[in-house]
């Protein structure tokens, strides 16, 4: 029988999200245990031992510590505390009174233990194993430049006189007719890159971290899983699998339906007996417990552990878990959705008799399914306690967490629509050319703008003016009109070409003022007879 020791409340620190959170929690728990566990003198087989404790005393004290630690759940059981002390013994956090550890087993009894003289804290890795590939988060300019300019053929725009006057007419309000040119469609690879990068960017922002590299290998994130988890769902939001071989076995689904609607089960054809519901529950738990990998997968263990650091901020934690669950393989997400639906039904079913004589139904569900939902490959972490905390939160908020994040979906769809938006194109000299997508503007300094304004457009404008000057098919009246418009719009360029009025007058030489020769008879006086006759009549 365990000896009850006085409980002295500790002040554990809340370990938030960040690199190596599982390691930080492990070291935090060890420091609290070593710093607060009462040590006293014990006798064993007629011999006294100083500064030690019994196994049961360690279980009592550590169990209370974990229950009052906000990094863990108040539903931590005594059995889970014993399992943690077994890990402590294997990792030489504690040793028996004779200095043995590692292969020794820990049991909840009166065996004596002590702390080794050194502090067995886990070291932090100097470099993250996920540093090799850094995710590139998208922005508008990346896909404008990389996706379209490289894939869409184009030729340089030639600014001729007709094109210039067409654009000049737009500037003064005369807008010509236009047509819409559709951009080239995004490839499947483009869409996958957008979904992966924008989803991880949203997750990083929700967690409030500068990088996800210390907790996630970007190469292991499959964008096809994200897209399928968003769009291939039924009316209840449950994922629809394309590969039916990955579905739950029929007998498991039947057992889950039976227990979810207990005691009214329309598909139940066999007679029930006392304790039948317990056997059905045990059947479901055994199937999930024998899976090769947890539903949240080994590769995402660190990611979900970091989300647990946000549970004090419930809305942020729900949003982070909602995005994390999108990264799961569709088969895992579907199994998780069906399981959490079942647990929610069991928890709200008042007609269902207790499923255990020793613990409550909720505690039983947490104990039965924690390890099949979240655990790590290494058996030295606090995975059991962290999994219990996560499952407890999932049971309360499963409907929100396992739904599709509509805000993220709308944001990505808007981004894709922007990249596929049509262009407005005016008929004219460049009607046959396909121009690359324009880049978005960014603010520059006044000096840089003045330099670009004076130098960047000089050459094409000089060429345009020369083309007007040398055009022999243009009438003098039309040429004067266009030169006047050019002089008004670009006086500096015009003055450089025609610095004096004389240089401009060369284009339009004055006509000769010499009167044309008239016929000789036009200069002679009227016939005298005619004038004389006229005078006589007067």
CATH number at residue 374: 1.10.555.10
- 513 pLDDT exceeds 70? no
CA distance 320 to 304: 9
Residue 436 lies in a domain: no
Residues 221 and 75 in one domain: no
Note the pLDDT of residue 432.
Answer: 42
- Are 236 and 322 in a shared domain? yes
Residue 173 has pLDDT above 60, yes or no: no
Q: Which two tokens stand for residue 89?
A: 């013994």
pLDDT band at 151 (very low <50, low <70, confident <90, very high): very low
pLDDT exceeding 70 applies to what percent of the chain?
A: 73
pLDDT digits (tens, 9 = 90+) for 114-128: 999 887 888 876 655
Q: Which residues pair with 206 in a beta bridge?
A: none
Interval 358-386: pLDDT, tens: 889 999 999 999 999 999 887 667 888 99
Mean pLDDT, residues 224-244 taken together: 94
Least confident among 98-112, 386-400, 421-435:
421-435
In a domain, 13, yes or no: no
Whole-number Å distance between alpha carbons of 123 and 433: 62
Would you state the torsion angle of the CA atoms of residues 66, 67, 69, 75, taken in this order, to the nearest 10 degrees? 100
Query: Are 219 and 363 in a shared domain?
Result: yes
Domain edge (last residue) among 114, 143, 175:
114
Q: Per the domain annotation, does 251 fall within a domain?
A: yes
Give the model confidence (pLDDT) of 461-508 as tens digits. 777 788 888 887 888 888 888 888 888 888 888 888 888 877 777 777
Per the domain annotation, does 17 fall within a domain? no
Angle at 94 between CA 90 and CA 99, to 5 degrees: 90
Asked, for residue 407, whether it belongs to a domain, the answer is yes
What's the CATH number where 42 sits?
1.10.10.10
Q: Is residue 170 part of a domain?
A: no
Same domain as 357, residue 221: yes
Higher pLDDT pick, 75 / 110: 110
Mean pLDDT computed over 116-145: 61
Those residues whose C-beta lies under 8 Å from the C-beta of residue 33, and which sit 6 or more positions away, are: 61, 62, 65, 88, 93
- Looking at residue 526, the DSSP 8-state letter turns out to be P
CA distance 99 to 132: 42
Domain boundary among 114, 133, 158: 114
Using left for φ > 0, alpha for ψ between -120 and 50, and beta otherwise, residue 297 falls in left
| Confidence check: pLDDT of 93 > 60 | yes
The answer to whether residues 251 and 367 belong to one domain is yes
Residues 108 and 212 in one domain: no
Domain that holds residue 496: 459-501
Q: What is the pLDDT of residue 535?
A: 46
Predicted local confidence at residue 199, as pLDDT? 95
In a domain, 87, yes or no: yes
The reply to whether 276 and 388 lie within a common domain is yes
pLDDT at 65 over 50: yes
> What is the percent of the chain where pLDDT is above 90?
44
Residue burial 179-200, b: 16+ Cβ < 10 Å; e: rest: eeeebeebeeebbbbbbbbbbb
Q: Which of 83, 114, 145 is the last residue of a domain?
A: 114
Res. 129 pLDDT band, cuts 50 70 90: low
How many domains are there within the chain?
Answer: 3
Asked, for residue 215, whether it belongs to a domain, the answer is yes
List 134's β-bridge partners, or say none.
Answer: none
490 shares its domain with 400: no
Residues 373 and 466 in one domain: no
pLDDT above 50 (res 98)? yes
Instruction: Indicate if 229 and 347 belong to the same structural domain.
Output: yes
Same structural domain for residues 319 and 202?
A: yes
Six token digits for residue 346: 């069991």
Q: What is the mean pLDDT of residues 80-94?
A: 92
Q: How confident is the model at residue 274 (pLDDT cuts 50, 70, 90)?
A: confident
Q: Are residues 291 and 388 in the same domain?
A: yes
Q: Taking all residues of the chain, what is their mean pLDDT, rounded to a whole number?
A: 80
pLDDT band, residue 304 (cuts 50/70/90): very high
Residue 180 has pLDDT above 60, yes or no: no
């Amino acid at each position: 029988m365990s000896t009850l020791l006085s409980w002295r409340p500790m002040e554990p620190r809340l370990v938030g999200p960040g690199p190596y959170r599982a390691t930080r929690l492990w070291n935090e728990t060890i420091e609290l245990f070593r710093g607060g566990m009462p040590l006293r003198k014990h006798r064993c087989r007629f011999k006294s031992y100083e500064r030690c404790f019994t196994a049961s005393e360690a279980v009592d004290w550590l169990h209370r510590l974990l229950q009052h630690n906000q990094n863990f759940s108040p539903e931590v059981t005594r059995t889970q505390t014993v399992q943690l002390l077994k890990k402590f013994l294997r990792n030489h956090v504690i040793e028996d009174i004779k200095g043995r550890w590692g292969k020794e087993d820990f049991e909840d009894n009166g065996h004596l233990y002590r702390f080794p003289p050194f502090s067995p804290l886990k070291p932090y890795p100097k470099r993250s194993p996920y540093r090799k590939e850094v995710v590139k988060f998208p922005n508008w300019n990346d896909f404008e430049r990389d996706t379209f300019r490289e894939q869409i053929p184009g030729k340089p725009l030639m600014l001729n006189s007709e094109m210039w006057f067409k654009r000049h007419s737009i500037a003064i309000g005369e807008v010509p007719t236009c047509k819409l040119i559709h951009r080239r469609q995004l490839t499947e690879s483009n869409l996958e890159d957008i979904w992966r990068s924008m989803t991880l960017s949203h997750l990083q922002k929700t967690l409030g971290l500068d990088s996800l590299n210390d907790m996630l290998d970007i190469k292991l994130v499959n964008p096809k899983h994200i897209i399928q988890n968003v769009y291939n769902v039924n009316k209840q939001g449950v994922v629809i699998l394309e590969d039916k071989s990955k579905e739950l076995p029929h007998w498991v689904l039947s057992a889950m339906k039976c227990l979810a609607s207990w005691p009214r089960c329309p598909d139940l054809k066999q007679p029930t007996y006392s304790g039948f519901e317990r056997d059905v529950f045990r059947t479901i738990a055994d199937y999930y417990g024998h899976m090769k990998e947890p539903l949240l997968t080994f590769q995402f263990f660190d990611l979900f552990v970091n989300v647990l650091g946000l549970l004090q901020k419930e809305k942020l934690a729900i949003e982070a878990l909602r995005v994390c669950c999108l990264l799961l393989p569709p088969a895992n997400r579907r199994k998780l959705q069906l399981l959490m639906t079942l647990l929610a039904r069991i928890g709200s079913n008042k007609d269902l008799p207790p499923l255990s004589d020793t613990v409550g139904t909720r505690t039983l569900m947490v104990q039965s399914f924690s390890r099949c939902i979240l655990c790590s490959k290494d058996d030295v972490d606090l995975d059991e306690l962290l999994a219990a905390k996560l499952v407890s939160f999932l049971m309360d908020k499963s409907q929100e967490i396992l739904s599709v994040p509509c805000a993220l979906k709308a944001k990505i769809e808007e981004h894709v629509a922007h990249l596929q938006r049509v262009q407005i194109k005016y008929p004219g000299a460049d009607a046959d050319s396909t121009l690359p997508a324009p880049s978005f503007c960014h603010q520059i300094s006044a000096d840089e703008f003045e330099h670009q304004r004076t130098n960047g457009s000089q050459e094409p404008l000089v060429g345009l003016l020369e083309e007007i000057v040398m055009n022999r098919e243009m009438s003098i009246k039309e040429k004067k009109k266009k030169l006047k418009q050019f002089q008004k719009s670009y006086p500096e360029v015009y003055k450089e070409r025609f610095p004096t009025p004389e240089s401009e007058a060369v284009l339009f030489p004055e006509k000769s003022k010499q009167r044309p020769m008239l016929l000789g008879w036009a200069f002679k006086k009227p016939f005298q007879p005619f004038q004389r006759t006229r005078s006589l009549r007067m």
